[in-house]
Amino acid sequence: MREDIARLFDAMAESYDDLEPWYEHLYARLHAILRTTLAPARGRPPGRALDVGCGTGFQSAILGEIGYEVHGVDISPGLVKVARRRRPARAWFSLASAEDLPFPAAAFDVVNCCGSTLSFVERPERALAEIGRVLRPGGSLLLECEHKWSLDLAWAFLSSLTRDSLGYRTSLAELRRQLARPLREGFWLDYAGDGAGSMRLRLFTLAELATMLARAGIRPCRRWGLHSVTNAIPSTVLHRTGLGRGLGVVYRALRVLDVAVASLPPAVALANSVVILGQRQPLDSRDGDG
């Protein structure tokens, strides 16, 4: 699976930063949260930051802007090539998997793992364990991944009932099979791609994310839900180069509301993307079973 994902992102490397309306909103919010939550404390040197699933390095650049020495890793040679070509000051990029990070223990003060990176990882619990290993005690993790109980799942189900009228390319039989799983358990689901092929994404529940983070020695501090209100419009409709005037007006209004409610529990519970700020705990206070 890892090779398939690498080829998928290699194919879109040069156009990776051409954001569709869906991603414009997602990354605008993510970057605002990143700047606020991972900014170094006043009077303290910034230290080192790791960007896991760095893509073309646009979040690495933000980490550099707020003072960190940045190391970015990605499994796509094409994306890493673009990141190196655009490399900001004090940033280094390498080809590596989130499940096997090539760094010593406690090497970083902050870790950023966004852009749904964890949802593409074959063994997400292993990736979070690796992030916990390289994050120093007291250090911060900003994590964003795909959420199971979102309106998009309802849209995919409706599409499967109406001969794929919304273009999710997910069969009714597959959706029924996955939804038969325990409520607290996530699953893998194939979604339509954006011209480079289909994407197999892991959809997480909040409960299983909490369990995996605890086992990695990371305590969640804050949570946000992105694309909760905006997902009143199916994601497949927003995965296009532009919107008509009327739909554009509606979407902009929904974006404002999405931002306003992002930290409220109902928004987190129904969001397409969940963002979690966590803190690495000392070794002797880990809650998980290691």
Q: Residue 20's domain is classified under what CATH number?
A: 3.40.50.150
Cβ-based neighbour number of residue 185 at 10 Å: 12
Please give the residue range of the domain that contains residue 101.
2-285
Residue 42: the pLDDT is 80
Structural domain includes residue 290: no
Residue 200: the pLDDT is 82
Helix (H) or strand (E) holding 226: strand 218-226
Structural domain includes residue 242: yes
Contacts of 146 (CB under 8 A, 6+ apart): 116, 119, 201, 202, 203, 204, 272, 273, 274
Structural domain includes residue 54: yes
Residue 288: the pLDDT is 42
Residue 195: the pLDDT is 45
d(CA 17, CA 231): 22
Q: What is the tally of structural domains in the chain? A: 1
Structural domain includes residue 158: yes
Residue 89: the pLDDT is 76
Residue 1: the pLDDT is 56
Average pLDDT along the chain, 290 residues, taken 10 residues at a time: 82 87 96 96 85 95 94 96 86 96 98 96 97 97 97 95 92 91 91 58 96 98 98 94 93 98 97 98 58
pTM over the 0.85 mark: yes
Structural domain includes residue 245: yes
Residue 53: the pLDDT is 97
